[in-house]
Amino acid sequence: MIIRPDADAAAALVARIIAKELRANPHLVLGLATGRTMESVYRLLVRMHRKEGLDFSLCRTFNLDEYVGLYPDDPHSFRHYMNEHLFRHVNVDLRNTHLPNGQAPDLDAECRSYEASIARFGGIDLQLLGIGQAGHIGFNEPLSAFRSRTRVKALAPLTLEQNAQSFGGTDRVPRRAITMGVGTILESRRCLLLASGPAKAEIIAKAVEGPITAMISATALQLHARCTVVVDEPAAQRLGASEYYRRIFATEPEWEEFRCLE
Ligand code: F6R
C-alpha cells in the first residue's frame, strides 16, 4: 500500500513500475485497464516511449473488459480508448493487443477463447487495475465469485451512473460487458491497483483493510501474493494504518528507486 502526495505522483509511480517490469522482460504479458484514472499512466508511458525509448514491440497486452454491443471503432469502446490513449502512440504490435470482442455472435465462446489466449501466452505477468466506487475490479460487480472467469456481466446501477457522463446519460450506457473474472485476475503474477481522488477514499479503505467479501470484488486482492495498491492523499483519507504504509515506502529498499518521483 503506497500513498503519494497527489494523483500525478501516484500515476508516475505506477508508470515507473510498469516500465521497470517491461525493461526486465520485453516479452511481458501486460494486463491493462481503462477509465479516467489510467489516462495519466498511459500519458506517462507514451512519454517514456518517446523520451527514453521504452520498448513495447515484444510485449502482449490483455485488457480487463469491453462493453457488449459496441464496435471496436465506437468512440465509447475500450478498444478505441486503448488505441487513443496508448497503442497508437507506442511501438506495440496491434496484433499483440487483446480485448474481448463485445460484438462476438457467441459471447460465451468469446469469453472462453479470451481465457484460452491468456493461457496460451503463459498467463498475465502484470495486471493493472482501477477500482469502481462499488469496489469492482474489471467489471466484477458486487457478488462476483472469487473463482469467476471471463464472462458476461450485467453492470451494477452505480457503475451505470459512474459511466453515464461519458455516454451522455445513464440510459445510453451499455447494460452488459465482458470482463475477466476475479479468478482470472487473481492468477496474474503481479497486480497493481491505482486509485486517486476523494471519491475513492471510502472504497479503498474497505478494499484494503476491510473484511474479504464478494460484495466488494477488490477485497479479493487481499488473497493475492503480490499486489501493490497506489493511491494519492485524497484517496488515502479513510485508511486506518496510513502511517505504517508511509514508513514502509520511506524505508524499505524495494522502494528506494521510486522515492524521488514527484
Ligand atoms: C476499466 C475497469 C474499471 C475501472 C474502474 C475505475 O477497464 O476495469 O474497473 O478501472 O471503474 O474507473 P475510473 O478510473 O474511471 O474511476
Residue closest via CA to ligand 1's atom 1 equals 34
Candidates 70, 136, 140, 194: which one to mutate for ligand 1, based on the most atoms within 8 Å of Cβ? Answer: 136
Ligand 1 close to Cβ of residue 118 (< 6 A): no
Residue closest via CA to ligand 1's atom 10 equals 130
Q: What angle do CA 253, 258, 262 make, to 5 degrees?
A: 145
* C-alpha–C-alpha distance, residues 96 and 9, integer Å: 29
* C-alpha–C-alpha distance, residues 22 and 29, integer Å: 9
Give residue-wise pLDDT tens across range 7-60: 999 999 999 999 999 999 999 999 999 999 999 999 999 999 999 999 999 999
- Measure 132 CA to ligand 1 centroid, in angstroms: 6
How is residue 91 written as a grid cell? 511501438
Give residue-wise pLDDT tens across range 93-147: 999 999 999 999 999 999 999 999 999 999 999 999 999 999 999 999 999 999 9
Ligand 1 close to Cβ of residue 47 (< 6 A): no
**Would you say 15 and 46 are in contact if contact means Cβ atoms under 8 Å apart?**
no
Tell whether the model's pLDDT for residue 261 goes beyond 90. Answer: no
Ligand 1 close to Cβ of residue 136 (< 6 A): yes
* C-alpha–C-alpha distance, residues 109 and 117, integer Å: 12
Q: Which of 37, 228, 214 is nearest to 140 (CA)?
A: 214
Sheet holding 176-179, edge to edge: 65-67, 176-179, 151-154
